[in-house]
Amino acid sequence: MSASPTTQHPPAEQTLILVGNPNVGKSVLFSKLTGKFVIISNYPGTTVEITTGHSTFSGKTCAVIDSPGVNELAARTEDARVTCDVLRDHPEATLVQVADAKNLRRALLLTMQLAELKRPMVLVLNMMDELDKVGGHIDVRKLSELLGIPVVPTIAIARTGIHLLEKSLDQAAVPASLTASLKTQQTSPTVTTNLPCQEEDYQQNIERLSYINEILAQVYTRVRPRKPTFAQQLGWWATQPLRGTLLLALILYFTFWFVGLLGAGTFVNFFENAVFGRHINPIAIRVVDAALPFPHQHRHEASEYKLDIPLAPGRGIELFSSTQQVLSPAYTIEPGAAHGWWNAVIRFIHDFLVGEYGMITMALSYGFAIVLPIVTTFFLLFSVLEDSGYLSRLAVMVNRIFRAMGLNGKAVLPMVLGLGCDTMATMTTRILETRKERVITTLLLALAVPCSAQLGVLMAMTARVSWGAALFWVALMVAIAFVVGWLAAKLHGGASSDFILELPPMRRPELGNVVVKTLARLEWYLKEVIPLFVLGTAILFFFDKLNLLEKITCFGEPIVTGWLGLPRETANAFLIGFLRRDYGAVYLLDAATGPNATLSPHQILVSMVTITLFMPCIATLFMIARELGKRTAAAITVFVFVFAFFVGGLVHHLGRWIGL
Amino acid sequence: MSAPNDYLHCPLCGFEFIKQQSACERGCPLGKYCRLVCCPNCHYEFPPELRVVSWWRRLFAPAACPKPPRDLFSLSELNEGDHAELVRLTSEKVSRRNTLAVYGLVPGSRLVLQQKRPSFVIRVGETELALEADIAGELVVKRIAAEGAANLTS
């Protein structure tokens, strides 16, 4: 999908770097030039990685590098830093600046900054169709003359003008006239890397813009007044108080239906009961039994399966249902069987693969049957929202609410992504500008934002408690997020960043792009998650074999039974929850809703609260340590642990006291 | 009751005068029983307010000085749909000013205020930009006619 710029390839005779403002279609142009699929993103700042491809133009092999979108050439944000690094690492490269033709003014600001690097460049005016739609016209020849570089109009999505661009690459020129026009000379001809913005930088930008106005006066005309399209109208509605809230509610409900009911209900049911329960697990058990025979008899258990289209929680259109006896991993040893060491070894391997804590029967079936469907539906929806340009508008809607937590609206992206996967969300906190915001968002993600796998399980658990209790759980999580966020914002030094956010135009998401993006995220997720499931199960398996589970349960018993008021077996769930908290939740789910449920509704509520607040999965911990450093990671970990048990116990004792 | 030499305040034109200056017509049939005073500036007749009330007003009421007409506003004073030209940025933070500059928002650029709640949304050229209220308050603008803003540049 993406490669570092140092990937081994036949030496290219020429290097092209695509540079441009965010959301101008650089990535589309890149894929048309190199024939490679890439992630195209509509939310400023989601593609931090750079993509490199290869192509041949007029007989020359060419390396093409796609850089993150920047608004100016100063390394003040993560994206800009990457772009500046790319520019510095390839001093001989030809620059291809991609511009949104509608937004020529901002593009030219970047052109002038690029011109100061004194490198051959070509300006691409992309999205000419959209310019036409808003009624603008650009005199391309005149612009080319004024800038002293080739200017190519394109519509990258439709492949219009790509051929012209390939031909004009040979004529790439250094835009000398641009730099000469400025009164104040750039102090250094290289890319600026100083972080704090200086007064001179600002003055230079003002000067550049006034020069750009002179250019625009000669080349840009507006022929007819704008008439808002439906997408534009929708974009305006999305940020208005009333219509925006309605739209938000609609989108939230659809998300709940699509991920919570369809993904976590219908699809999980299908994969867990029909695919794994009836086919994969029994086949695996038979194969292992045939390969590693030892005297034992697997039990059979009834498997109920129902395929339905959900409408509301607990209601749906039933399409198909059946009950069937299937082979279960639980088994009995035939009495009087030989107890040789050979049998013991075989049994050990057998259990490792298809036992109660087996790789296939537990790790893979949880990983693929429960987590995968939920995560897939979530990522699919997230990609659609991201490509439509709605996420930035969501940030506008929630900015005030997030301000109460010491964050600003931009933090909504990691927070929403956290509902899919906290680990991935922790990584995307990079888009936030100050460390303070990154720390608070990470803390809240670790504490109060349940990931999709966990959400599915938690939703199943809410079915076992009253509506009131479920609402209490949601309200408590929201309240905790606010109180902890507010406190953290007060206690953590440093300033919050300004909320100045560009709203990209609303567009209809392209199916191909959404699919590619979802697949890329899933690939990442599977690579990270399945090994962790296997690792977690393996640790659990060895603990079980060594009877350590029993001992650790004893150790954790005073807290779990005394303070939380839960059965001692649930101590296991918390232990597993340390390895993966959704895993722990699944374990609790079995105790809550499984065939031999042991938990009362009150206990379910207590465990729901505790497991939601509990230590995020171990992958999140590693990610926090990577992003924020070991000390902060340790502090967050300790806080989350103590806080989860504290609040869980509080809920238990208060519930007892009130008499629920 | 108001004393004879108390300052009176015409509620119609805002003129301030003392009771002796009251522009009562000579030969008014109501004579000394009349409780009304007449503003020498606009000849509006009104009952003088009680001394306690006027004390109260002087103590607590906002200064009634008419606002001088002005052509400069902070962006947050504008209405939704207004077109404006940015005059200056009062922000101390140069980084904030520069961030706005790279979006094309520098003194002289024209903008349209699209909405004020829940956040400010402005359009500069073809860029839609969301701003927080306190940043919007730092933008000093002057109103311009809608036609002028239809062109991209100044």
- A58-70 pLDDT, tens digit each: 777 888 888 888 8
Whether residue A62 sits in one domain with residue A210 = yes
**pLDDT at A246 > cutoff 90:** yes
Tally the C-alpha atoms within 13 A of residue A271's C-alpha that lie toward its C-beta. Answer: 19
Whether A46 maps to a domain, the answer reads: yes
Whether A68 maps to a domain, the answer reads: yes
Confidence grade of residue A647 (pLDDT, cut at 50, 70, 90) = very high
Whether residue A289 sits in one domain with residue A193 = no
Domain finish residue from A382, A407, A423: A382
- Picking from A71, A100, A503, the nearest residue to B130 by CB comes out as A503
Lowest mean pLDDT among A107-111, A226-230, A419-423, A463-467: A226-230
Whether residue A153 sits in one domain with residue A25 = yes
End-to-end CA, chain B:
61
User: What dihedral do alpha carbons A441, A445, A446, A451 form, nearest 10°?
Assistant: -160
- Both structure tokens of A59: 């007989």
- Picking from A134, A217, A499, the nearest residue to B131 by CB comes out as A499
* A182 vs A325 pLDDT, higher one: A325
Closest-approach residue (CA) in chain A for B116: A240
Tally the C-alpha atoms within 13 A of residue A636's C-alpha that lie toward its C-beta. Answer: 32
Whether residue A304 sits in one domain with residue A202 = no
**pLDDT at A189 > cutoff 80:** no
CATH, residue A184: 3.40.50.300
Specify the 3-state DSSP secondary structure of A174. Answer: coil
Confidence grade of residue A195 (pLDDT, cut at 50, 70, 90) = low
Mean local confidence (pLDDT), A101-127? 87
Whether A499 maps to a domain, the answer reads: no
Of the candidates A73, A133, A106, the one whose C-alpha atom is nearest the C-alpha of residue A216 is A106
Confidence grade of residue A230 (pLDDT, cut at 50, 70, 90) = confident
* B55 vs A188 pLDDT, higher one: B55
Instruction: Give contacts of A105 with chain B, Cβ < 8 Å.
Output: 104, 125, 152-153
Whether A653 maps to a domain, the answer reads: no
Instruction: Give contacts of B80 with chain A, Cβ < 8 Å.
Output: none
**Number of independent structural domains in chain A:** 2
Lowest mean pLDDT among A91-100, A105-114, A447-456, B101-110: A447-456
The pLDDT value recorded for residue A44 is 39
- Residue A524 CA to residue A368 CA, distance in Å, equals 14
The pLDDT value recorded for residue A355 is 81
Confidence grade of residue A660 (pLDDT, cut at 50, 70, 90) = low
Whether residue A306 sits in one domain with residue A169 = no
Whether residue A266 sits in one domain with residue A221 = no
Mutate: best of B124, B128, B131, B138, partner A, most A CBs <10 A: B128
* A528 vs A72 pLDDT, higher one: A72
Whether residue A51 sits in one domain with residue A99 = yes
Question: Chain-wide mean pLDDT for chain A?
Answer: 80
Mean local confidence (pLDDT), B122-139? 87
Whether A495 maps to a domain, the answer reads: no
Of the candidates A234, A157, A229, the one whose C-alpha atom is nearest the C-alpha of residue A390 is A234
- Express each pLDDT in A357-406 by its tens digit: 788 887 788 778 877 887 888 889 888 988 888 988 998 888 888 888 88
Whether residue A253 sits in one domain with residue A221 = no
Q: How far is A30 from chain B (nearest CA, A)?
A: 23
- Express each pLDDT in A568-610 by its tens digit: 777 777 776 665 555 666 677 777 666 666 778 888 888 888 8
Please state whether B81 falls in left (phi above 0), alpha (psi between -120 and 50) or beta.
Answer: left
Mean local confidence (pLDDT), A128-141? 83
Q: How far is A19 from chain B (nearest CA, A)?
A: 15
B135 with A500: Cβ contact below 8 A = yes
- Picking from A216, A397, A500, the nearest residue to B153 by CB comes out as A216
Confidence grade of residue A639 (pLDDT, cut at 50, 70, 90) = very high
- Picking from A72, A134, A210, the nearest residue to B102 by CB comes out as A72
- Both structure tokens of B65: 């000085």
Whether residue A212 sits in one domain with residue A311 = no
Whether A356 maps to a domain, the answer reads: yes
Instruction: Give contacts of B153 with chain A, Cβ < 8 Å.
Output: 105, 213, 216-217, 220
- Express each pLDDT in A249-268 by its tens digit: 999 888 878 887 888 778 88
Whether A636 maps to a domain, the answer reads: no
Mean local confidence (pLDDT), A607-635? 82
Which ipTM value was assigned to this complex?
0.73
Instruction: Give contacts of B126 with chain A, Cβ < 8 Å.
Output: 100, 102-103, 134
Residues spanned by the domain of A346: 247-382
Instruction: Give contacts of B118 with chain A, Cβ < 8 Å.
Output: 239, 241, 244, 396-397, 399-400
- Residue A417 CA to residue A440 CA, distance in Å, equals 15
- Express each pLDDT in A447-459 by its tens digit: 988 877 777 778 7
Contact (CB, 8 A) for A169 and A122: yes
Instruction: Give contacts of B115 with chain A, Cβ < 8 Å.
Output: 236, 239-240
- Express each pLDDT in A496-542 by its tens digit: 778 888 888 888 887 877 887 788 778 877 877 678 778 777 877 88
- Residue A513 CA to residue A441 CA, distance in Å, equals 28
* A242 vs A494 pLDDT, higher one: A242
Whether A469 maps to a domain, the answer reads: no
B72-150 belongs to which homologous superfamily?
A: Ferrous iron transport protein A (FeoA) (2.30.30.90)
The pLDDT value recorded for residue A570 is 75
* Chain B: residues touching A (Cβ < 8 Å): 93-104, 106-109, 114-115, 117-119, 121, 125-132, 135, 150-154
**pLDDT at B149 > cutoff 50:** no
Whether residue A299 sits in one domain with residue A214 = no
State the Rg of chain B over Cα: 25
Whether residue A213 sits in one domain with residue A322 = no
Distance of CA A530 to the CA centre of its chain: 17
The pLDDT value recorded for residue A635 is 92
Whether residue A71 sits in one domain with residue A191 = yes
Q: What percent of chain A has pLDDT over 70?
A: 86
The residue extents of the domains of chain B are 7-60, 72-150
- Residue A92 CA to residue A103 CA, distance in Å, equals 28
Confidence grade of residue A45 (pLDDT, cut at 50, 70, 90) = very low
**pLDDT at A222 > cutoff 80:** no
Residue reference for tokens 């900054």: A113
Domain finish residue from A197, A226, A255: A226
**pLDDT at B98 > cutoff 80:** yes
